[in-house]
A = this chain, B = another copy of it.
Amino acid sequence: MTMGQLNTIKLTMVKGLQFTAHDEHGHTMILDTETKIGGFDQGFRPMELLLVSLAGCMSMDIVSIVQKKGGQITSFETTIQGQRAEKHPKRFEKIIVKFICQGNYEREDLLRALELSRDKYCGVSATLRDSPDIEFSI
């Protein structure tokens, strides 16, 4: 069995519940949470990063596919909303994603790009659909 790529991320506690994350390509970001539970509110929160991840993956797919079909995109905006469960662990029960694309392209190509991302290309969407095995050590 051949394997796909292995992605590695490292997190380090900074202060309170604030962490920095490092990827393998030299990027760093702060993640944080609300002050009332011990964060400093200086960066994106973990649950909201899940929405950024899904919206980003699909938006990049759609822009890329429409352009490969010869379309010109002048602006692209995505709004993603996650409805949390009321009780712990307050998972996202429902996610609503709205893409607004402007430019010179065939409407049919845009619709097809959304389908292709959702069903074939977006790894975030596929990971949410088909749960990964997760192992922990501490």
**Partner-B contacts on A (CB < 8 A):** 2-13, 17, 19, 21, 23, 25, 27, 29, 31, 33, 37-39, 41-57, 59-60, 62-64, 67, 73, 75-101, 110-111, 114, 118, 120-138
Contacts and interface: CB of A to CB of B under 8 A. Distances in A.
A63 B121 CA distance: 36
Is chain A's binding surface mostly helix, strand, loop or mixed? mixed
Nearest to A128: B131
Contact of A84 (B5, B79, B136): B5
A81 to B, nearest CB: 5
A91 B127 contact: yes
Contact of A78 (B6, B10, B47, B87): B10
B132 A110 contact: no
A96 B132 CA distance: 10
A11 B131 contact: no
Contact of A132 (B7, B21, B91): B91
A85 B100 CA distance: 30
